[in-house]
């Protein structure tokens, strides 16, 4: 769904879309894909299959990478939270992935002035990975 390009012609005006409109169309498809993956991760919670959860976490991360900026971070927040909960539930030993999810959630919480929640996620990230410098966190 994300890889397939959208229509380059506007159905209402029958005019060719400009680059800005095509980019917006791509972002909307990616957001829809993240929403679908979020629902899939909720289903994975019922199955409790670690392989499926890891695969889903990697898919969510790859779909969310373009949104790792201040303007679009809100689109990935719920999906990342769901993934973190599932990875904690199965006690995943993929610590680097878990740390990255926690840090991105903390960045969003800081941007929204939820400093206490951000602090909790940073503490969880530090507990998972002591090899990361505290100054970098």
Q: Is residue 84 within 8 Å of 106, Cβ to Cβ?
A: no
Average pLDDT, the chain: 86
What pLDDT score was predicted for residue 101? 95
What pLDDT score was predicted for residue 87? 94
Q: What is the arithmetic mean of pLDDT over 130-137? A: 60
d(CA 50, CA 83): 12
d(CA 107, CA 69): 10
Task: Record the pTM.
Answer: 0.81
pLDDT tier at 26, thresholds 50, 70, 90? confident
- The two three-digit tokens of residue 101, written as one number: 């999810």
Nearest-5° angle of CA 30, CA 96, CA 120? Answer: 85
d(CA 19, CA 35): 24
What pLDDT score was predicted for residue 8? 72
b/e 101-115 (16+ beta carbons within 10 angstroms → b): bbbbbbbbbeeeeee
What pLDDT score was predicted for residue 28? 87
- The two three-digit tokens of residue 94, written as one number: 């993929």
Per-residue pLDDT reduced to its tens digit, 82-112 = 999 999 999 998 888 999 999 999 999 999 9
d(CA 8, CA 15): 8
d(CA 101, CA 104): 5
Q: Is residue 56 within 8 Å of 38, Cβ to Cβ?
A: no
For tokens 């994975």, name the residue: 44
pLDDT tier at 132, thresholds 50, 70, 90? low
| pLDDT over 60 (residue 137) | no
| pLDDT over 90 (residue 135) | no
């Amino acid at each position: 769904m994300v890889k397939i390009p959208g229509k380059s012609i506007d159905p209402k005006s029958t005019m060719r879309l400009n680059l800005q409109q095509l980019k917006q169309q791509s972002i909307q498809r990616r957001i829809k894909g993240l929403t679908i993956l979020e629902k899939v991760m909720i289903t994975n919670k019922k199955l409790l299959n670690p392989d499926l959860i890891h695969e889903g976490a990697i898919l969510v991360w790859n779909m969310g990478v373009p949104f790792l900026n201040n303007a679009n971070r809100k689109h990935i927040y719920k999906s990342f939270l769901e993934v973190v909960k599932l990875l904690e539930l199965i006690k995943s030993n993929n610590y680097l992935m878990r740390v990255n999810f926690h840090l991105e959630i903390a960045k969003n919480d800081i941007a929204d002035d939820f400093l206490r929640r951000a602090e909790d996620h940073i503490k969880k990230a530090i507990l998972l990975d002591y090899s990361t410098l505290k100054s970098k966190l």
